[in-house]
Chain A
């Protein structure tokens, strides 16, 4: 009798101990939850929406006739089908490079000049805001990139090779961090991008507001900074490798629900 009571007490103590000691993962999950309500990406979304219909540039025109792949002016649903092949430019384009094409053809901006502008500055900041709003317009929709065109299939194949390409001082490739399930850098979970990593994860989460520096990060900037951390040289904005990688990740994410713009560490 006495023994049983003692065991009972011991079990109780164990349970309360386990409850009191919240795991690190739970703590981080709680922190992320707290930030979800009130994602500053909304500020960039609002800016992008205003920019879309505003008459700007040398031609004093809006972007309302821009074709993002769903026909002129159609924004909803465009994000989850990009990158794709565009007959007018005869190349596969991602959202940002396509926006620059529209800003050049419709508004008269200098595309090369925009591509050279650092992230967060001048017209590049506007491209990011526009991409944020356009992504948000497909929130809740599922990725379904077209692969019907030979150029789109080739983009995927190039992207796959770029994903596994090792180089730099540290021998890293994209796959060093994103080729396996359930890995982390520090406390950050690393999605496996060689397959569909799930709803709202990886390709389906960017553009995202970065808490660490208070910046809105587009996919181009996300890839740019991955290459920086990989100790690679500098990838050009809208370069073949960045678009091919987006095609590879986007096709792999087929069926994943987009939550972009997300909020990230």
Chain B
């Protein structure tokens, strides 16, 4: 017998993982920023979080591989050396919903965080720093997602 789970694991391509169409469910948490996670663009996501128009800045950095062997797991990091950061964000431009993570930082940690995200295809990724003074700064990087395995 073939289980549903096996079938899924095997048939789901990364593109399938992030197939367009679809919606996010209602949050179990009142504070979870639904509108931001529904956003399709960087500007809309930032706006939904109450930020102004984002400006590219070399004071913000995004780290990640140039090539991801698998889009299911792409290591990304966001950092800035600027003081007065309220939030750091990670976004993937060509995902159906661009926003991946919001980090509400405090003075007790360094403004340098890493996680791993899914990417449906090659795309720009963004690190965004939302500052206490209302400024929104970002950095971009292109990551190529390759096709792997036997394709089955």
Contacts and interface: CB of A to CB of B under 8 A. Distances in A.
In the complex they form, do A and B come into direct contact, defined as C-beta atoms under 8 angstroms apart? yes
Interface of A: 22, 24, 27-28, 30-32, 34-35, 118-121, 185-188, 211-215, 228-229, 265
Contacts of B65: 27, 30-31, 34
B67 interface: yes
Interface in B1-54: 1-3, 5-6, 9-10, 12, 14
Given A35-B73, A118-B6, A214-B72, A187 B66 contact: no
B12 A211 contact: no
21 contacts: A22-B66, A24-B67, A27-B65, A27-B144, A28-B69, A30-B66, A31-B65, A31-B67, A31-B68, A118-B1, A118-B2, A118-B3, A185-B149, A186-B151, A187-B148, A188-B148, A212-B14, A212-B148, A214-B72, A265-B70, A265-B148
B3 A186 contact: no
Interface in B138-152: 144, 146-152
Contacts of A22: 66
B66, B72, B73, most chain A CB atoms within 10 A:
B73
A135 B6 CA distance: 24
A243 to B, nearest CB: 22
Interface in B59-103: 65-70, 72-73, 75
Given A27-B66, A31-B68, A265-B149, 6 more contacts: A120-B6, A185-B149, A186-B148, A187-B69, A211-B73, A213-B12
A27 B9 CA distance: 26
A265 B51 CA distance: 37
| B contact residues, range | 20 to 34
Interface of B is mostly: loop
Contacts of A212: 14, 70, 72, 148-149
A229 B152 CA distance: 7
Contacts of A188: 148-149
A30 B63 CA distance: 12
Contacts of A185: 149-150
Given A121-B3, A265-B148, A213 B9 contact: yes
Nearest 10 A/B pairs, CB to CB: A27-B67, A31-B65, A34-B75, A213-B9, A211-B73, A27-B66, A118-B3, A229-B150, A211-B70, A265-B69
A128 to B, nearest CB: 13
Nearest to B71: A212
A219 to B, nearest CB: 17
